[in-house]
Structures are given as structure tokens and as C-alpha cells.
Structure 1
Amino acid sequence: MKKLTLKDIASHFGVSISTVSKSLKDSSEISREVKVKIQEYAKEHHYKPNRVALNLLNKTTKAIGVIVPNILNYFFTQVFYGIEQSANARGYTIISCISDESYKKELQTVELLGSGIVDGIILSLSEETQARDNTEHLQNLIENHVPMVLFDRVTEKISCDKIVVDDFEAGYNTTKHLLKTGCNKIAIISTIYNSSVGKLRVEGYKKALRESGFNYDGKNVVEVGKNEDLQLLISLLLDNREIDAIIALDEMTAVDTLNILKLKGITVPDEISIVGFTNGRLSKYVSPALTMVSQHGKYIGELAANILVDRIEYEGEMPFTTKLVKTTLIERDSTKKDQ
């Protein structure tokens, strides 16, 4: 069945397309008699406006593109939720995309979204993009005047609005907390070692050790690749080093580490304390409940959406802004109390 168009309705009544459009919008410029006839006809024939045509006419899509590197990371799920809440409240829908830590996927998605199907983009860089340090695709967006907000994993090469978590301070504060509880043989397990956030957390860890008079040992930082066996790497770590605390740089790794230690008969936190990043639901319901670093993902999402919509809708010049979000340590049962 052919979809009814404005042109069809205009032809039926012998009026202009403009008259039909104004009638359907209940404009005061059109007489009540004509409006009622057109509105009833449109309803009877199940007329639905062509969103693409309206977007071209209005030069706006009322849509925001969101690209995250990993949907399995609860932090990005929280950010998604915050973006959607704020965007919807301001009349925008979101198109959600995942780069899966791939530069190629990120490039293809940016090119697609930047072709005019969204009004602006919110993006966290993939690990591969950061490792390559290639951001030409983002520079193209800026040159084509596509509004963009970078969050969490950002780059200094691009001039745009940014929201960053204070990951250096998070790594520092987490390590200091463990040191206060009597732990001093602290290991890090990282699945995000190529990303800016992973590197900053390790730098904060190094500073905390240095300040407390302990030497940094690179062998205590375990980098876990996509296809590597976490259980084997943890076993090798514990067989070769004396460890009394582990900082896992994401929630799933923290939960997996806890389960691996349990299988090995190691009690948490009496023998080894565990701290993870991203305060998701999993961390609350494992036993013992995990001490976690909250990055306030929902708030970051809300902030990103509001900054982007402000930029989309503001007609004048607006300086770019960089917001720094502090983390919070949520203490639970996987770490000892301060000594």
C-alpha cells in the first residue's frame, strides 16, 4: 500500500502542500473548516509525516549519535543511561553504536553518523584509536562543523567539549587506601593498558607507592590481552610474587579475580584485598562484596548530553569546555579497614 504524502493530500483537496502542512500543524493561518477536513482525511488514511523530509526541511534531525568502545563495561552502560535520560528530556533521540575497541569500526561509525543523520556526536575513543594516536576522522567532523563531546577517553589533538574522569587521582587514592589498610605488595590487573585512562591509573598508583617509600615494580602490573587467560596470568603472578592486594581496572576483571582467588583457596580480604573500577551491580552481590571506584557514569552521560544539546541549539560562538569529574571509593568487604 502506497504511503500517503503531503502532495497526495494537497492534490485530493486542490490546495497547496503548504496549506496541508499548516493545517496538520493546526496553524491559525488556515480556516477551521479547511483544517478539520484535512486533519480528518489524514487521520482516516493513516498519514504519518516523513521524518527524513522534515529533517531536511528543518535542517535538524533531533538525534544524537553515541559511540562507546565496550558495552560490557558497566561504566559505559551507565553513561548511555545518563545520555538517554537528558537527551530525551530535551526532545532528542539517541543512536547508540559500539566500536568494540576497534579503530576501523570507530572510523566507519563516525563517517556514518557524520554524514548528516545526527545533529551531534558523543564519543569515547577506542583503545586501538588511542594506541594508534590517529584522530584524523574526528578532525574531519570538526572541520565539517559537526558538534562533538569526547568523554572519558579523550585526545588533546581535537578541539571540542570534553568530560574526563580524574583517573590519575583515582589510581593514587585507591593505592593510598590499600596502603593505609596495611597492604604494601599491591598488583594491578589491566585489560585497558593501551587506553589513556588505564595509563593514568597506573601513574597514580606509582606516585602513591613512591610517596609511601615503596619501589614500583613493573612485574606487578599485569596486562591482559583480549585472547589471554586471566586465570593463568593471575596464577603466574601469585606463584612468582608475594601479593597482598590487587587493583582491577574494570568491574568484570575484579569479579573474575575474586572468583579465581576463591578457587585457589585464597581468602579475601584476609590474604589478598581486591579493589575494582566501576561501581556496577555485580560488585555488590558477589561474596565478599567488592570495594569499587565509582566514576559516576550516569552523571557523565547527563552532562555530555546537556553540553552537546546546548552547543547544537546555541546560535552564537561558545568556548569549548573541559569538565573534570572526581571519583569516589565505595568501601565494601573485599578490603581491610584502615589500620
Structure 2
Amino acid sequence: MKRNITLKALSKSLNVSVSTVSKALNDSPEISVATRKKIKEIAALNNYIPNASAQNLKNKKTKKIGVVIPGILPHFFAEALNGIEETANKMGYQVMICISKDSLNREQEIIKNLLNNQVDGFIISLAQESQATNNLNHIKEITKWKIPLVLFDRVSEEINCDKIVLNEELQAELATLDLIKTGCENIIYLSGIPNTSVSEQRKAGCLTAIREHGLPERIIEFEGENFPAHLIKKLAVDKKIDGILAADELSAVITMKTLIKAGLKIPEDISVISYTNGTMGSHFIPSLSVIDQQAHMQGKISVETLLDRIEGHLLMDPILYRLKSKIIHKESTRKTSSISQRGLLISKFFN
């Protein structure tokens, strides 16, 4: 790799002081816009990177980990963060937590700031907008400079790094089969997190089970607060829904509330199953059946993997952890009519 130019060498080539170059690179108003632009262009051409990143490259540890997650309110990320912080603290590392709010620009800015704060490595769950636009250059920049990176939950095959995930597609297929076994013939895949890697994999698993049984394919996806309550109510009242696989807990809970308001019974009229074994779904009446995402474990293993990578304990090739999960049936799904039938259906995936 081409040797990175130093700040001193860069200032010499531009015939300006080191202070001027530093201020220009940090967008100081003391330096004119034209000068800042010129210095940044020359810096980029000469492969200059901030001192924080350079220190990471030299393996000078700061005992700081940068953690970037889409949000703190979803139970999954709150629980994963708990696992990250708990494990990092035990191993003597400080965690710098940042929230992307599913924004590409915010995620880009966060990573830039964390580099300037001299973090030893990153743990990231990608923002929805980054995945939807497939704009991952800011993530690739981390790996370009050989800074340790672990992606968890929302990951990308384009990023060459360690990853912690569930077998999302298989779990969605098994959950859909459980709905089918209880008599559901009109199953909808519902997602409030479209254009994310996890939602796409869950949708694929759901559709695999539906197609295998020759059932109609129905997908409802929405973003933010645009929950399609009217559409779901109409389909339910017209008896065009009898089962729902939701990609996220919030969508599932809002859906159940909508159905109950419409005079429908759960699970007698419509069965609902979702991802995330969170407090919101657990305390709803009826309680929500879920696919457990192993959130705390994903956080714990993310830290352990990252620190092993920082300490040089791992081989060069990146590691892909696929954690085991389980389906927890609570009150929002009907009971299976035949235990032996259930065993036969699931066993085919492992023979």
C-alpha cells in the first residue's frame, strides 16, 4: 500500500504551515473556502488520513470502541447494546455509542468523528438508508485502513469483515411453516424496516414456505409512521388475512392493536408472529409470539470478536458467526394440531 503522507510533508508541499493545513482539514473558518478546498484535494491525492486512523494502523491502542447502531428505542438494539457495553467494560474497553437514526449522512459523519476520536475498532449495525442506497463507501474506508470492524444484525456481503448474524431466512421459513401448520392459508409478510438486509432475508424465508404450499403471496412494507392501518383492516375484515409474519416488533404490536379495534380476535381469527423477544410484545394482550434474535448474545460476541481481532488472535480471513435462535409461541399464535406433524415438517431442514 502506498505510504501515507504526513501532515508535515503535506504542509511543505503546499508551502504553508502545519497549522494552516490542520485548520483547513478541520474546516476552520479562519481559512478561506478556496484554500480549504485546495488543501483537501491535495491531501486526498497524496493519500493523507487523519492522525486518529494512522494511530490505529500503527496498532497504538486507545482502549476505545466505536459502536454505531440505527436506534436505541427498538428492544433488539437496546439489548444488544447492553451485551456490548457489559462485555467491553469487563475487558477494560470504553464504548463510544452513536445513533445513526437510519440516516446515511449521519452514519458517515459519525464514523468520521469516531476516527478522529482514535477508536481501536468499530461495531456497526448498518443504517437503513445506507443499505437501501447501497452507499457503503464510508464503511469500506474503515477496512481500507485495516481498522478492525465487526458488523452485526444488518450486514453487507460487500464489506470484508467479521460479521455476527442469525440465519434469518431459515428462521422466517420455520415461523411461516408454524403458521401454516395451524391452518393459516392467507399469510402476509409485514415489514416496517424495508430495504434492510434482515428484512429482505426474512421476506425470502417467508415466501419460500408460502410458495412450497401454493399459497397466495402477500407483502406489505412501509416506512416510518406510514403504517397502512386502513389496508390491513380491510384485508382482515374481508378475510384475506389469517396469519402475519412481522419483521419487527413495533409493526406487529401496531397491527394487533389495529385488528383488535376492528373487532377481530387474535389468534382465533388471525395469528401473528414477529421478531424480537421484547418487553412491548411480551406485555401486550395477547402476548406476542416471537423469533428470539439473541440480541444480548449478538452484542457480546461482537465485542469478543472485535477485541480478538484487535489483539491479533484471529486468522486473516473474516469470521461469519450464525447464531442459533428459537421460535417462542405465546398467545398470538394458535396451537399446532399435531405435534408429530410439526416434527416431520421441521426435520426436513436438517436431514
- The one-letter amino acid of 1:178's match is L
- The one-letter amino acid of 1:189's match is L
Q: Tell me, yes or no, if the aligned pair for 1:61 and 1:118 is still in contact at 8 Å.
A: yes
Q: Tell me, yes or no, if the aligned pair for 2:206 and 2:245 is still in contact at 8 Å.
A: no
| Alignment-derived partner of residue 241 in structure 2 | 243
Q: Are residues 146 and 338 of structure 1, via their aligned partners in 2, closer, same or farther at CA, if it must alter by over 3 Å?
A: same
| Alignment-derived partner of residue 284 in structure 1 | 282
Listed one character per residue, the Cα deviations across residues 41-61 of structure 1 (whole Å, up to 9, x for unaligned) are: xxxxxxxxxxx9xx99x9322
| Alignment-derived partner of residue 303 in structure 1 | 301
| Alignment-derived partner of residue 65 in structure 1 | 66
Instruction: Using structure 2 for the length normalisation, give the TM-score.
Output: 0.76
Comparing 230-239 with 306-315, greater Cα deviation is found at 230-239
Q: Tell me, yes or no, if the aligned pair for 1:63 and 1:118 is still in contact at 8 Å.
A: yes
Instruction: Using structure 1 for the length normalisation, give the TM-score.
Output: 0.79
| Alignment-derived partner of residue 342 in structure 2 | none
- Using the alignment, how far apart are the partners of 1:336 and 1:241 within structure 2? 17
- Using the alignment, how far apart are the partners of 1:96 and 1:210 within structure 2? 42
- Using the alignment, how far apart are the partners of 1:84 and 1:233 within structure 2? 41
Comparing 318-327 with 123-132, greater Cα deviation is found at 318-327
Structure 2 gaps of 5+ residues are: 1-51, 338-351
Q: CA RMSD in A?
A: 2.1
Structure 1 gaps of 5+ residues are: 1-51
Q: Tell me, yes or no, if the aligned pair for 1:114 and 1:146 is still in contact at 8 Å.
A: no
| Alignment-derived partner of residue 170 in structure 2 | 169
Listed one character per residue, the Cα deviations across residues 279-313 of structure 1 (whole Å, up to 9, x for unaligned) are: 01121111111101101000010000000011112
Alpha-carbon distance, 1:107 to partner: 0.8
Q: Are residues 89 and 256 of structure 1, via their aligned partners in 2, closer, same or farther at CA, if it must alter by over 3 Å?
A: same
- Using the alignment, how far apart are the partners of 1:248 and 1:323 within structure 2? 24
Among the aligned pairs, what percent are the same residue? 37
Listed one character per residue, the Cα deviations across residues 38-80 of structure 1 (whole Å, up to 9, x for unaligned) are: xxxxxxxxxxxxxx9xx99x93221111111122211111110
| Alignment-derived partner of residue 180 in structure 1 | 181
Q: Tell me, yes or no, if the aligned pair for 2:190 and 2:219 is still in contact at 8 Å.
A: yes
SS at match of 1:117: coil
Q: Tell me, yes or no, if the aligned pair for 1:222 and 1:233 is still in contact at 8 Å.
A: no
Larger radius of gyration: 1
- Using the alignment, how far apart are the partners of 2:124 and 2:82 within structure 1? 14
- Using the alignment, how far apart are the partners of 2:111 and 2:227 within structure 1? 32
Q: Tell me, yes or no, if the aligned pair for 2:236 and 2:242 is still in contact at 8 Å.
A: no
SS at match of 2:190: strand
Q: How does 1:183-332 map to 2 (within 5 A)?
A: 183-215=184-216, 217=217, 220-238=218-236, 242-314=240-312, 318-332=316-330
- Using the alignment, how far apart are the partners of 1:307 and 1:225 within structure 2? 33
Alpha-carbon distance, 1:167 to partner: 0.9
- Using the alignment, how far apart are the partners of 2:129 and 2:234 within structure 1? 27
SS at match of 2:188: strand
- The one-letter amino acid of 1:124's match is S
Are residues 1:146 and 2:147 paired?
Answer: yes
- Using the alignment, how far apart are the partners of 2:324 and 2:219 within structure 1? 24
Are residues 1:94 and 2:92 paired?
Answer: no
Q: Tell me, yes or no, if the aligned pair for 2:233 and 2:259 is still in contact at 8 Å.
A: no
